[in-house]
Chains A and B, each alone.
Chain A
Amino acid sequence: MLFLIEYNRHRGEIVNLRTFADSERRTAESSRLTLELELNRQAIEHEVVLLEAIDEAALRRTHRRYFETLGDLARAS
């Protein structure tokens, strides 16, 4: 699965998460560019990243900073 994440670094929060099937790789890549262009037009400095994992649980394990607060990190290990 592919996950397109829009992340507000200063707030440490995900703004938007979109998922794509493995077969939709090109669509996911195109969506990443469209989102980056849109944010750039609006002068919004959010991190945009496309990640790939077997499922969302695996993604949440390997990229916890996108999903968890420091408190969550401390509690959920």
Chain B
Amino acid sequence: MTSNLSKTQIDKLGDRLRKGDITEADLRMLDEYRLLFSDAYEYVVETIRNRLGVEPTGRPAKSTGAIREKLKRETIRLSQIQDIAGCRLVVEGIVEQEQLVDDLRSVFDDATLVDRREQPSYGYRAVHMVVVRDNKVVEIQVRTALQHLWAEWSEKLSDIIDPGIKYGVGNEKLLQLLFRGSRLVASAESLEMRVADDERRGVRFVTLAEGRRISVEEWKKNQTEIKKELLQFLLDVIEESPSLTGAYNAVSHRIQSTSRRNR
């Protein structure tokens, strides 16, 4: 896919998107720009399918709304946005995530790894890989089931309550719940990783922080139970989270619907 769009034109388009008043010509130009990523996107998705035998869910082009929000939120130019095209893979646990990331690195050996488990973005944890193909960037998201549940929760709250929530802005109770949930997922997955490491190294007994010495089998059983309890905790707080917002929810909704453009 080729285009005559210059970098200056793309970034000026980004400035107009940031300001908000989008013309039909702007939408057509944005579409042309997004289509430039098609070949790189198809290469990445096909490579994952054919070389690794897994099926990603792909997003060939970021939505206009999401691009506008990113431009408004960050001091970034349109030509610098790294996730115009991307795909997502969700695996069971952190051991499978590590394995898949290793596999992805073996097929995309010059990809850049962005480990958001080490440096979460407002509680969002996952592994992202950035692949560059013919000067076009494609982002691969790899999430565990728990990281994914947390991310979907955060996204949904951002949709229906306050778009700022996934960027750490908004109802304090909800933000606290999200951060706590994220930290618990991190702790549980760290434990899962340590158990798997010891199992792989053939360790037979471990001494717990409380001083008790147990077999690795028992340790693994405990860890699996903790993960189930954490999942139940997350499900409970997800169900309760809208009620925590109370009046805030109603007022916020009114403001949002009243803020829509009128012509």
Contacts and interface: CB of A to CB of B under 8 A. Distances in A.
B155 interface: yes
A62 interface: yes
Contacts of A65: 152, 155-156, 159
Interface in A57-76: 58-59, 61-65, 68-71, 73-75
Interface string B33-66: 0010000000001000000000101111101111
A29 B1 CA distance: 13
Contact of A64 (B55, B152, B242): B152
> Chain B's interface: helix, strand, loop or mixed, by majority?
helix
A15 interface: no
Interface string A1-40: 0000000011110000000000000000100110011001
Contacts of A73: 149, 152-153, 156, 235, 238
Contacts of A54: 55
B24 A70 contact: no
Chain A interface size range:
35 or more
Interface residues of B, number: 46
Given A62-B88, A71-B239, A73-B149, A52 B260 contact: no
A48 B254 CA distance: 23
Contacts, number: 109
B28 A33 contact: yes
Contact of B22 (A10, A40, A50, A59): A40
Contact of A52 (B22, B57, B261): B57
B27 interface: yes
Contacts of B261: 43, 45
A44 B261 CA distance: 8
B239 to A, nearest CB: 4
Contact of A51 (B24, B57, B152): B57
A11 B64 CA distance: 18
A50 B260 CA distance: 24
A62 B90 contact: yes
B243 to A, nearest CB: 10
Contacts of A32: 31, 61
B63 A47 contact: yes
B263 interface: yes
A41 B160 CA distance: 24
Contacts of A71: 239
Closest 5 CB pairs of A and B: A74-B239, A52-B58, A62-B57, A12-B160, A74-B238
Interface of A: 9-12, 29, 32-33, 36-37, 40-41, 43, 45, 47-54, 58-59, 61-65, 68-71, 73-75, 77
28 contacts: A10-B159, A10-B160, A10-B256, A29-B60, A29-B61, A32-B31, A37-B24, A40-B22, A40-B24, A43-B263, A51-B57, A53-B57, A54-B55, A58-B57, A61-B57, A61-B90, A62-B57, A62-B88, A62-B90, A65-B152, A65-B159, A70-B241, A73-B149, A73-B235, A73-B238, A75-B239, A77-B145, A77-B234
